[in-house]
A and B are shown apart, each in its own frame.
Chain A
Amino acid sequence: MDSGHTAWVLVSAALVLLMTPGLAFFYAGMVRSKNVLAMLMQNFFAMGLVSTIWAVIGFSLVFGDSGNGWIGNFDFVLMKDVTSLDGEIPGFAFFAFQMMFAVITPALITGATADRLKFGSYAVLIGIWSVLVYLPAAKWVFNGWLLDMGALDFAGGTAIHINAGVAALAVVIVIGNRKGHGDTPMPPHNLPFTLLGTGILWFGWIGFNAGSGLAADGLAAQAVVNTHLAAATGMLGWLLVEKLKGGHATTLGAASGAVAGLVAITPCAGFVGGASPLIIGALSGIICYLALSIKEKMNWDDSLDVIAVHLVGGIVGTLLLGFFADTAVNDEFDGLFYGGGLELLKDQFVAAVAVGAFSFVVTYAIAKVIDATMGLRVDEDGENQGLDQSQHAESAYSS
């Protein structure tokens, strides 16, 4: 066992854990003040529920060696025999690190359904979603047929960001728009929270990406640099377009651009080098900003832009890897710009479409069933009153 690798993976697990509270504040700042606790709660609750699911069955269904590329088995149910995976790092270090990914993925969806999702239905939604959507997608990408086919995803561009982004869209279509959407202004109530959350996300993302090689080595260092620089140029790209189109460089734009860059570099972090992260981040910042208009055109109330930032950013990163992958960094595959031809790009495209289509169909079905049985949405009074009062009997800001 290598103590250096072990230490880095354990630290990375803690870094990725911190991303979920970071995401909670990133989102919570953007909602109205009557819904801030509900947003924080949905994200924190994922840490409770999804961690438990992961321990009971999740890890096993992704990493149990079933011999097929579609779903794991029951070898590691309730953490049985996880130590049998001990190698350079302990099986439990890998278990812990992967658990934090499972937690944050459904939490990403909460930004799209802000201000109207009933808490009990949310709990059922992400519980079922984690098992029926996240676990298979993670299996395919990290340990199954997409990996075997040759698609690359260093830390979860497809399994996490495209997956959660598409799921967000499916749930938005089922749950409908917020009451007053389009007529009543619903500006963010506390952008300092959003900036604080962005800082925490950015910090945690170092572990998310650079821990994904499961080693404290040169590739991890490359991934740290790639991750940070993509966030940097993601911010610059977003602010540049925002300034040119809207007249002001905004704090929300700085935060959103950095996250867009981080999303796009996620699949690429351990496969690209040189100036590539600068380009990938900047393109993601620009493209994600332009993607904001999709929801207006389609009349989807994706309240906090999960589609524009996570789905589009995930697609940008997943496809750009087909251009920028460089065997000088990681001997997996060369992209189009490094003499590898179109094959990787094709595999990346297949991975994006497969995960996206699977996630949309299954998430839509789950959301429909929950909506028909327990109702996804709070009643009108509850929505007017705000979710903090109607769902949790609390208020964030007492007068």
Chain B
Amino acid sequence: MKLITAVIKPFKLDDVKDALKAIDVSGITVSEVRGFGRQGGHTETYRGAEYKIDFVPKMEVSIVVNDVDVDQVVDVIASGARTDKIGDGKIWVTDVERIVRIRTGEEGSEAI
């Protein structure tokens, strides 16, 4: 099992979610996060004073999947989140040692 984590542009969340549902991904978790990458931040102006805002708002999407599904899910997230402009975000994949469905106690693939 793998954990797929993606940090994406907030307004692309619906596209990514719809694309994931279309390939029958059974669940995702999203969080509002802030950060910077190559895109950097932006400037805001209040009463003539400029403020550099380094952390820009992003959405983080977390999904645990079976190993065989990893490539397809990563591709779907990437195509759903892509705008071809700087700041589209990143996707990374990590190993998951154990997973438990709390209600039933099922483990492993049964719990995904």
Contact = CB atoms under 8 A, between A and B. Distances in A.
Interface of A: 185, 187-188, 242, 245-248, 250, 252-253, 256, 289, 292-293, 296, 305
A246 B45 contact: yes
A292 B47 contact: yes
Contacts, number: 27
Nearest to B47: A292
Q: Which of B44, B47, B49, B52 has the most chain A CB atoms inside 10 A of its CB? A: B47
Interface residues of B, number: 9
Contacts of B53: 185, 187
B51 A293 contact: no
Nearest to A305: B47
Contacts of A188: 46
Contact of A250 (B45, B51, B52): B45
Q: Which of B46, B48, B52 has the most chain A CB atoms inside 10 A of its CB? A: B48
A246 B48 contact: yes
Contacts of B49: 292, 296
Interface string B65-108: 00000000000000000000000000000000000000000000
A242 B48 contact: yes
A85 B53 CA distance: 58
Contact of B48 (A185, A187, A293): A293
Given A187-B51, A305-B47, 15 more contacts: A185-B51, A185-B52, A187-B46, A187-B53, A188-B46, A245-B48, A246-B48, A248-B45, A250-B46, A252-B46, A252-B47, A256-B47, A292-B47, A293-B48, A296-B49
A305 B49 CA distance: 12
A253 B47 contact: yes
Give 4 nearest A-B pairs by CB, closest first.
Answer: A185-B51, A187-B51, A292-B48, A246-B45
B44 A187 contact: yes
A242 B45 CA distance: 10
B45 to A, nearest CB: 5
Q: Which of A187, A247, A256, A289 has the most chain B CB atoms inside 10 A of its CB? A: A187
Interface in B53-73: 53
